Amino acid sequence: MLRTLLLVPLVIVAAATSASVSAADTYGVKFSATFRPTLGLVDASMTVSQAEGELEWLDMNAPEGRTFEFTGDGRVRRDGNRVRWDVPPDGGQLRWRVRVDRLRGDRYDARMTTDWALLRIDHLFPAAHVSTRERERSRSTLELQGPAGWAFETRYGRIEEAVALPGSERRFVRPTGWMMAGKLGVRRDTIAGRKVVVAGPRGERLRSQDILALLRWTLPELVTLLPHFPDRLLIVNAGDPMWRGGLSGPGSLYLHSARPLISADGSSTPVHELVHVGTSSEANPGNDWIVEGLAEFYSIELLRRSGTVGAWRARRTFASFEARARRGKGELRSPSSGAHTARAVTVFHDLDRELRRAKVPHGLDAVATPLLDGPPLSKAALEERVTKLLGRPSAVLENAYARYLKTR
């Protein structure tokens, strides 16, 4: 019996020189990528080792402007922005090229120069529908190559030779997260039991030590809140013309090197993104305000708990968010940003106080920890958890929904 699986972005990676099948219910996948900075391209390939057609086909979302020149063993065909590969029963290889540079507005969220590259691994391999036999699992490896003197930092550690990827219990294992390649400046530390790496282009004015100092204060508090936070964390950073913000990925995040670690409004972009890194739940459609509101609330609250800022400063910050939501007519809506996220922060701050007045141990943490580490986030799941803790519906949520919830 065959089963079809929807995969999120595959990735630019590589694999061991030999990915052999060791058992009847596994097959090997070798991901490979070679960086060619003078061309602005990556040569990517995926090699499948199998005995009896365990992996039958992949149907990939491959935008023509970014992924091109697909060739391989077996049948390969493109239909618009999709590429299908019928994998030979005894395995084979699919090859293609990827343009690295990608604009987010007028700035880059992926870029390769002659000296370095910063990107999401998952953006280099297209998303794919994959068909396998029922019980088969992949054994995947990753290998990255480039010019002499280039180093490769990923959430799996520094890639100096082929490495096995975790997740052998899954039907198809692929690399994910941010990565940095090239001539790099790197700082390493162990904080709250997590291996932390901060990487950026060598020679740029990076604040690696400042970032590590902030994490020494805040990461222990975050791990208490989200105990399943990844064992490894990679932070990549670079300056202009990269996008001036922060972006999270699995086990990793990107931060512009000029971005304040604590913003003028009293929140923290890196702590906000770290909450996303530690969150295993995704929001159901229409519930982005829950994800963004909790991340921003804790970007303030964890600064206070860790002593990074004082209680008085945190109170002023929450008051300023309430004023911002009022001025901007913030609503609980998706997508959530600006005044709308400020409204969500205010609601969660009020909910925390309601829970603590009711003597609920740990206040909002008792809601956030299971919510962020469970099934997809939803308004219904939030209401159910809060009602269970209070023994009644929340007056704060009922009032907020009546006044601010945007359902369309």
Residue-wise pLDDT tens digits, 119-144: 999 888 777 888 988 778 889 999 99
Q: Which residues of the chain are in CATH 3.30.2010.30 domains? A: 185-259
- The ranges of the chain with pLDDT < 70 are 1-24, 168-169, 407-408
- Was domain 26-182 assigned CATH 2.60.40.3650? yes
DSSP state, residue 285: T
- Was domain 185-259 assigned CATH 3.90.550.10? no
Sheet of strand 163-164: strand arrangement? 67-72, 92-99, 41-49, 26-36, 137-145, 163-164
Q: Which residues of the chain are in CATH 2.60.40.3650 domains? A: 26-182
Question: End-to-end distance of the chain based on CA atoms, in angstroms?
Answer: 41
Q: List Cα–Cα distances, 191 to 174, 197, 200, 201, 259, in angstroms.
A: 27, 10, 19, 23, 22
What's the confidence (pLDDT) of residue 129? 86
Q: What is the pTM of this model?
A: 0.91
What's the confidence (pLDDT) of residue 256? 97
What's the confidence (pLDDT) of residue 5? 40
